[in-house]
């Protein structure tokens, strides 16, 4: 039986991470739809979603066959790499070392690139590929997080529902406002998700190596608190010394 101490942070992590990725994908799809038309934007999006569904169908059952200790270690290592990469970038953004991610800026840049691309007759391959790539690249991160956290914690169904809820929410709001969701505090969300994914990574690596964390599942909350404290201390330290960003510097 999975405790709420484990399932709560797992579902929150998946929901928030999916929210961030869906917002980023929406920005590109909106740019494609606005500049090149909605038919290729939808075609690329649907093709991307179908590709992601195939990946889940192919790899989901394989994961269930891996012995639990190996899976915990493998998932833990991947989550550590993935989560600490997010957290590293979030710290550097919060500390002013790299520019904050701005959806309005990303939308403008993508729209300008699409408008400059040679118009094509018939099927607009540039538009379809751009939408497809955005959905697949952002969706891959969602699929990885769902499979990693869901499979290692035995929470595949709730994790999938959390991801679907986040993506559905972004699609509904995106369709309603027809603008990039620039007011979502994406950088703060990425910081929080980086902390949570790093905590899950450390927890599962420990479990996979046979170290037992004090407090069992509750340890995830404690590990996340340590990551948050270390990240906050690092932000405080580097923001005191960071040189101002160059004007017009683009966020990664």
Partner 1 sequence: MKWLAAAAREVAGLFIEDAGFALGILAWVALAALVVRELPFGDPWRAAILLAGCLALLVENVLRAARRRAG
* Cβ–Cβ < 8 Å for 78, 169: no
Interface with partner 1 (CB under 8 A), residue from 54, 233, 236, 250: 233
Pick the piece of the chain touching partner 1 (CB under 8 A) from 25-33, 90-98, 101-109, 184-192: 90-98
Give, as one character, the DSSP assignment of residue 154: T
Place of tokens 């169908």: 57
> What is the 3 state secondary structure string of 52-103?
HHHHHHHHHHHHHHCCHHHHHHHHHHHHHHHHHHHHHHHHHHHCCCCCCCCH
What are the helix and strand counts (H, E) for the chain?
A: 8, 0
Q: Does 248 bind partner 1 (CB under 8 A)?
A: no
Place of tokens 């679907």: 164
- Residue choice 61, 185, 214, 248 for contact with partner 1 (CB under 8 A): 214
* Residue 109 interacting with partner 1 (CB under 8 A): no
Please identify, among the stretches 116-124, 167-175, 182-190, 233-241, the one whose residues bind partner 1 according to the rule CB under 8 A.
233-241
Residues 35 and 55: their CA atoms lie apart, in Å, by: 30
- Between residues 178 and 247, which has the closer beta carbon with respect to partner 1? 247
Footprint of partner 1 on residues 113-172 (CB under 8 A)?
137, 140-141, 144
Which residue's CB is nearer to partner 1, number 35 or number 135?
Answer: 135
Q: Shortest Cβ distance from residue 176 to partner 1 (Å)? A: 30
Of 137, 152, 181, 147, give the one whose Cα is nearest residue 49. 137
Query: How many Cα neighbours within 13 Å face the side chain of 204?
Result: 30
Contact residue for partner 1 among 9, 44, 48, 95 (CB under 8 A) = 95
**231 binds partner 1, rule: CB under 8 A:** yes
Contact 137, 49 (CB under 8 A): no
Residues 18-57 that bind partner 1 (CB under 8 A): none
Q: Which of 38, 31, 27 is nearest to 124 (CA)?
A: 38
Applying CB under 8 A, among 81, 104, 125, 172 the residue interacting with partner 1 is 81
Of 63 and 84, CB closest to partner 1? 84
- Is 226 among the residues that bind partner 1 (CB under 8 A)? yes
Q: Residues interacting with partner 1, by CB under 8 A? A: 76-78, 80-82, 84-85, 87-89, 91-92, 95, 97, 137, 140-141, 144, 198, 201-202, 205-206, 209-214, 219, 223, 226-227, 230-231, 233-234, 237-238, 241-243
């Amino acid at each position: 039986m999975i405790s709420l101490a484990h399932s709560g942070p797992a579902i929150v992590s998946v929901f928030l991470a999916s929210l961030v990725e869906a917002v980023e994908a929406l920005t590109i799809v909106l740019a494609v739809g606005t500049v090149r038309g909605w038919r290729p934007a939808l075609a690329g999006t649907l093709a991307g979603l179908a590709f992601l569904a195939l990946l889940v169908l192919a790899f989901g059952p394989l994961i269930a066959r891996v012995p639990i200790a190996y899976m915990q270690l493998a998932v833990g290592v991947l989550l550590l790499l993935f989560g600490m990469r997010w957290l590293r970038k979030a710290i550097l953004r919060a500390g002013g070392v790299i520019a904050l991610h701005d959806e309005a800026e990303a939308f403008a840049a993508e729209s300008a690139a699409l408008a400059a691309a040679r118009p094509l007759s018939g099927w607009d391959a540039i538009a379809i590929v751009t939408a497809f790539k955005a959905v697949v690249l952002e969706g891959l991160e969602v699929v990885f997080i769902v499979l990693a956290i869901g499979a290692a914690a035995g929470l595949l169904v709730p994790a999938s529902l959390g991801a679907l809820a986040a993506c559905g929410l972004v699609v509904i709001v995106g369709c309603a406002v027809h603008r990039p969701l620039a007011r979502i505090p994406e950088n703060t969300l990425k910081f929080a998700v980086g902390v949570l994914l790093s905590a899950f990574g450390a927890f599962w690596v420990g479990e996979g190596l046979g170290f037992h964390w004090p407090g069992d599942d509750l340890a995830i909350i404690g590990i996340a608190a340590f990551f948050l404290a270390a990240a906050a201390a690092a932000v405080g330290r580097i923001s005191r010394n960071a040189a101002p960003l160059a004007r017009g510097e683009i966020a990664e």
